[in-house]
């Protein structure tokens, strides 16, 4: 489970020191206007940090001139083999142990310092059981005597001196000692950072025989018992309707709930207990939630929202077959501004990294089976469902702020996303066109074309158009079996004179989009790709000197959802013809 909130309610200084006192291991995410920042903790010590401008340690070392440019490729290969990049740089004698230690501290300070006084942004602390050196990017135990940095070494203050924010929180954080209990003591929920003052044992009122009625809301300006107000006497009073308090039991913030009719949530989760708890939690907020135990049903509901230009928040259970990842990518292709949260059974930092790169807005872990015993299950599930509500409420508020609300807000929201998609497409096109730097390498050119096409299509195949046949170069997507798509496509040979979609496009030199006729050549093509039948197909000629020298085929066979705008792909293909033609001729695979 995670700790969610806003920096306006709890500062980064406080968060860092809370994690330090509770000796937690995990990753703190902070998302603001600049992007996603992360701070890694191991046993409460800060061990690394990253920012949009400093995405990883290799890039940082290179930017600082601490390692040469020609060593970056080797270091990344060693990292792929399981050797932390910092360790690899030391082993290659590119930097000393002391130099690496100084660089790591400098990087952490550079990332954290601008965030210390910021009150803008949202945070999420993701608990992890362990953190390996490859996750940290170096061996913290080998580099630092303590295994990392205590807060005062990063946030300021002499050794052992308590920072002012920590002094103000100290009494409240005594309850945080429960977080480091082990063995036979009562289990504590992951990240159950109890910020309210602990009730002394044996004191307080006797527990009533019957369940008490819900307590009345505290008077305006007062904090509910069991919560701690971190605004301080110098902070302005909160705006009406906004709660700047913790839900102590789960470490969550209550957030403002805007009054609007766009509140839609989709949950794909196979565990019925989680579905029931989530429905109950969202039912209290007036949100329309559609829950599915089948990913195909969830996809169908999303397509209806797309057609209606509706805003919605999606929670997807992670699946080992990557079906939920592909659905995530489909949502982000259609509208990258639609929030998507991945729910995982266990915290896996590598998987989290891949999912965030794929477009996930948040990565949360579900309550473990060990913590869903008869006595604790209801509370654990309720706290987890509350986390989903907090994220959704925040997303709804951001949507209303960005669109201004109103009956036309949905249409404006999707139009804005379309414009951003075009801008991103042009940036990606520039990058990919620059990558086609060696037109004598047909495999490189084909790989670049297919990589871009995979951003738009479920399944694709690239062919060289020879005088007598269309020869496959590679492909992507699901085959319906275990064999790799590229290997299947490379074996495909379709006669040039056989009527079919490839011949039609090659003869007309015009793109095709829509249905596909049933011909012998088309049947051979579909069977060669694995047999899955699409509902919509596209095929583009790759032109060189006004002559088609290649064909890119694509379809929606996996999800069978309508194919969106392909403007970026079309622009790239119009620019890639020269490189493709020269590479095909140089490799001897041209017509």
Q: Where are the domains of the chain?
A: 1-197+240-251, 257-425, 436-587
Sequence-separated (6 or more) residues with CB below 8 Å from residue 75 = 58, 67, 85, 88, 89, 92
What percent of the chain stands above pLDDT 70?
75
d(CA 483, CA 475) in angstroms, rounded, equals 12
The DSSP string of 31-44 is EETTEEEEEEEETT
3-state secondary structure of 429: helix
d(CA 540, CA 543) in angstroms, rounded, equals 9
Closest CA to 552 of 480, 478, 452, 482: 452
d(CA 79, CA 320) in angstroms, rounded, equals 24
Q: Would you say 459 and 558 are in contact if contact means Cβ atoms under 8 Å apart?
A: yes
Task: Give the pLDDT confidence score for residue 432 in this predicted structure.
Answer: 60
Give the largest Cα separation in the chain, rounded.
90
In the chain, % helix, strand, coil (3-state, to 5) comes to 40, 15, 40
Over residues 240-268, the mean pLDDT reads: 48
Task: Give the pLDDT confidence score for residue 423 in this predicted structure.
Answer: 62
Task: Give the pLDDT confidence score for residue 292 in this predicted structure.
Answer: 92
Q: Which of 1-5, 98-102, 274-278, 513-517 has the lowest mean pLDDT?
A: 1-5
Q: Which of 69-73, 211-215, 335-339 has the lowest mean pLDDT?
A: 211-215
d(CA 435, CA 438) in angstroms, rounded, equals 8
State yes or no: pLDDT of 328 exceeds 80: yes
State yes or no: pLDDT of 522 exceeds 90: yes
d(CA 159, CA 161) in angstroms, rounded, equals 5
Task: Give the pLDDT confidence score for residue 156 in this predicted structure.
Answer: 66
Query: Contacts by 54-59 with C-beta closer than 8 Å and gap 24+?
Result: 54/107, 54/110, 54/111, 56/85, 56/137, 57/85, 57/86, 57/103, 57/104, 57/107, 57/137, 57/138, 58/85, 58/89
Pairing of strands 313-317, 340-344: parallel
Provide the CATH number for the domain formed by 436-587 in this structure. 3.30.450.40
Q: Which of 250-259, 507-516, 533-542 has the lowest mean pLDDT?
A: 250-259
Distance of CA 158 to the CA centre of its chain: 38
Q: Kind and range of the H or E element at 268?
A: strand 264-268
Closest CA to 223 of 211, 233, 208: 233
State yes or no: pLDDT of 268 exceeds 70: yes
Task: For the chain, give the mean pLDDT.
Answer: 77
Task: Give the pLDDT confidence score for residue 252 in this predicted structure.
Answer: 32
- Which residues are 27's β-sheet partners? 40, 126
Q: Would you say 95 and 103 are in contact if contact means Cβ atoms under 8 Å apart?
A: yes
Give residue-wise pLDDT tens across range 134-184. Answer: 889 999 998 998 899 888 888 765 444 445 444 444 443 443 333 333 333
Over residues 24-34, the mean pLDDT reads: 86
Task: Give the pLDDT confidence score for residue 86 in this predicted structure.
Answer: 92
Which alpha helices (H) appear in 436-480, and where do they start and end? 442-453
257-425 homologous superfamily: Response regulator (3.40.50.2300)
Give residue-wise pLDDT tens across range 527-566. Answer: 999 999 999 999 999 987 788 889 999 999 987 878 887 8
């Amino acid at each position: 489970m995670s700790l969610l909130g806003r920096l306006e309610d709890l500062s980064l200084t406080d968060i860092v020191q809370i994690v330090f006192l509770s000796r937690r291991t995990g990753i703190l995410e902070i998302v603001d206007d600049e992007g996603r920042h992360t701070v890694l903790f191991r046993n409460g010590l800060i061990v690394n940090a990253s920012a949009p401008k400093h995405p990883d340690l290799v890039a940082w070392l290179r930017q600082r001139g601490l390692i040469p440019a020609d060593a970056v490729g080797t270091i990344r290969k060693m990292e792929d083999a399981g050797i932390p990049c910092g360790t690899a740089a030391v082993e290659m004698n590119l930097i000393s142990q002391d130099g690496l230690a100084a660089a790591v501290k400098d990087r952490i300070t550079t990332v954290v310092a601008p965030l210390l006084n910021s009150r803008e942004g949202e945070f999420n602390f993701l608990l992890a059981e362990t953190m390996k050196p490859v996750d940290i990017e170096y061996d913290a135990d080998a580099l630092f005597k303590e295994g990392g940095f205590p807060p005062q070494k990063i946030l300021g203050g002499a050794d052992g001196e308590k920072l002012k924010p920590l002094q103000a929180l100290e009494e409240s954080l005594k309850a945080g000692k429960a977080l480091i209990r082990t063995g036979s003591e009562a289990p504590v929920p992951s990240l159950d950072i109890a910020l309210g003052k602990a009730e002394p044992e044996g004191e307080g009122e006797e527990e009533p025989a019957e369940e008490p009625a819900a307590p009345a809301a505290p008077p305006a300006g007062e904090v509910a018992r069991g919560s701690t107000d971190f605004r301080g006497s110098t902070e302005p009073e909160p705006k009406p309707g906004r709660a700047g308090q913790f839900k102590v039991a789960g470490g969550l913030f209550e957030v403002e709930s805007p009054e609007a009719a766009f509140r839609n949530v989709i949950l794909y989760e196979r565990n019925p207990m989680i579905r029931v708890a989530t429905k109950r939690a969202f039912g209290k907020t007036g949100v329309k939630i559609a829950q599915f135990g089948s990913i195909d049903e969830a996809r169908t509901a999303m397509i209806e929202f797309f057609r209606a230009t509706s805003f919605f928040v999606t929670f997807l259970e992670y699946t080992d077959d990557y079906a939920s990842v592909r659905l995530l990518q489909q949502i982000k292709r259609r509208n990258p501004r639609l929030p998507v949260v991945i729910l995982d059974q266990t915290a896996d930092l590598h998987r989290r990294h891949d999912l965030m790169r794929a477009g996930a807005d948040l990565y949360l872990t579900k309550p473990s089976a060990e913590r869903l015993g008869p006595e604790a299950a209801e509370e654990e599930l309720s706290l987890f469902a509350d986390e989903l509500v907090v994220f959704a409420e925040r997303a709804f508020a951001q949507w209303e702020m960005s669109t201004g609300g109103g009956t036309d807000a949905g249409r404006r929201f999707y139009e804005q996303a379309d414009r951003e998609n075009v801008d991103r497409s042009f940036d990606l096109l520039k990058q990919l066109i620059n990558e086609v730097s060696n037109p004598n390498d047909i495999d490189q050119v084909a790989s670049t074309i297919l990589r871009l096409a995979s951003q738009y299509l479920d399944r694709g195949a690239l062919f060289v158009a020879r005088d007598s046949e269309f020869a496959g170069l590679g492909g992507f997507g699901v085959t319906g079996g275990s064999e790799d798509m590229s290997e299947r496509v490379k074996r495909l040979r379709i006669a040039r004179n056989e009527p079919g979609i490839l011949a039609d496009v090659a003869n007309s030199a015009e793109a095709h989009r829509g249905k596909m006729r049933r011909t012998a050549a088309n049947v051979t093509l579909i069977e060669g790709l694995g047999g899955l039948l699409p509902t919509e197909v596209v095929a583009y000629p790759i032109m060189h000197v006004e002559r088609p020298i290649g064909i890119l085929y694509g379809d929606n066979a996996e999800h069978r959802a309508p194919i969106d705008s392909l403007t970026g792909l079309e622009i790239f293909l119009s620019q890639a013809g020269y490189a493709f033609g020269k590479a095909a001729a140089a490799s001897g695979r041209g017509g």
